[in-house]
Amino acid sequence: MDGWEDQFPELFTRAPFQWGGVADDRLEVQFVLERPADHLVSNVKVIGRSGGGVVVCASDQGWRFLPGGTREPGETIDDTARRELFEEAGAVITGPLTWVGAFKVHHPGSTPYRPHLPHPISYWLYVAADVVVQERPTNPADGENVIEVLTLEPAEAADYLAVFDDGPMTDVLRLATAMGHV
């Protein structure tokens, strides 16, 4: 484990989900470094490396985030990463995906968020990849309305994310940087 749990104790502690100041005490997450079975992955986030920086996004609702999102029926993890990165950042992946880690998610309730997604346990995967921003985000109707795509030096990207999410996503980026993935 290389002491990552000691360096990032809050990230590795099972806790209620909190993102952007919104908490759901019924939904619990815990970051893990072990790769789950592909069929248990429901979401993929991409730490996009570009020109020595990291690609970050902002929505018209004030959200700041790493590009990524929910897996569609029949998609591979690579497919999800490529689609979400293009939709949210107008970027394409130019190299292999590098495993970083995942949130193991314990979902409350009796049904999944979408019928094709794993339940009651799923994983929100984080990968790193070399990317090139080519155009504006496509902003599909069922997604966030991305109004800003930036490429920032890794520490600056973490600070940028921390304005909205001073927790899990910011800590994952800091962990990925410490691991040498960024």
pLDDT score recorded for residue 16 = 82
Q: Both tokens of residue 86?
A: 């293009």
Q: Both tokens of residue 123?
A: 């994983």
pLDDT score recorded for residue 143 = 84
3-state secondary structure 24-57: EEEEEEEEECCCCCHHHEEEEEEEEEECCEEEEE
Q: Both tokens of residue 43?
A: 């979401």
pLDDT score recorded for residue 27 = 80
Q: Which residue has the tokens 């569609």?
A: 72
Distance, in Å, from the CA atom of 22 to the CA atom of 130, rounded to the nearest integer, reads 31
For domain 4-16+25-178, the CATH superfamily is Nucleoside Triphosphate Pyrophosphohydrolase (3.90.79.10)
pLDDT score recorded for residue 167 = 76
Nearest to 149, CA basis, from 48, 43, 79: 48
Collect all residues with Cβ–Cβ distance below 8 Å to 178 and sequence separation of at least 6: 4, 7
Find out whether 125 and 41 touch, Cβ atoms under 8 Å: yes
Could you give the count of Cα atoms lying within 13 Å of 89 in the half-sphere of its Cβ?
Answer: 30
Q: Where are the domains of the chain?
A: 4-16+25-178
**Tens digit of each residue's pLDDT, the chain (182 residues):** 579 999 999 999 998 876 555 556 678 899 999 999 999 999 999 999 999 999 999 999 999 999 999 999 999 999 999 999 999 999 999 999 999 999 999 988 788 888 999 999 999 999 999 999 999 999 998 888 999 999 999 999 999 999 987 778 999 999 999 999 99
Tally of helices (H runs) and strands (E runs) in the chain: 4, 10
Q: What is the pTM of this model?
A: 0.93
Q: Which runs of E-coded beta strand occur in 119-176?
A: 121-133, 146-152
pLDDT score recorded for residue 136 = 95
